[in-house]
Amino acid sequence: MEHAWKKIIRQAVHFIGISGCGWLIDFGVYIILTEVFCFPVVYANMLSSIPAITLVFFVSTRKIFANRKEGLPLWGKYIIYFLYQIVLVFCVSWVGEGLFRLLSRTTLMNVSLIAAHLKIVCKILITPITMTMNFFCAEGPLREAIRRMIYE
């Protein structure tokens, strides 16, 4: 049982490292889109995720799929991963937009730092949703179902 926990912890650390790099790219593009170009939360989150999704996929597949010749080619795996991410990002982006609209009507807007950067606050609030869903897809039970679909 202890060995299983060590494996889960190791997977989580690996996942956080790769995803953390992707999130930095995502967050940087998001800040540019919201703060410089005044994009709404929903569209900025959708657009900023694309370079991060691509980076995380190719870094992950280099390690995870490096020695596997069976199943779909890399581009096929990318399409499946990208479609999953697009659905997830679409849903989470609308949650972020809803949070923005909700929070913009609260007394939190009296705090000037929050008011000035509410779109960034919303991005920070929705990040755990995305990270959790990705962990369970990449390292959890959903992973086996996806692998069976790809390799069978």
List pLDDT tens digits, range 98-119. Answer: 999 999 998 878 888 888 899 9
- Provide the residue range defining the domain that includes 14: 2-151
Q: Model confidence at 2, in pLDDT bands (50, 70, 90)?
A: low
Residue scoring higher pLDDT (18 or 65) = 18
In the chain, the number of structural domains is 1
Whether residue 48 is predicted with pLDDT greater than 50 in this model: the reply is yes
Asked if residue 124 lies in contact with residue 34, where contact means CB atoms within 8 angstroms, the answer is: no
Q: Model confidence at 65, in pLDDT bands (50, 70, 90)?
A: very low
- State the pLDDT at residue 139: 56
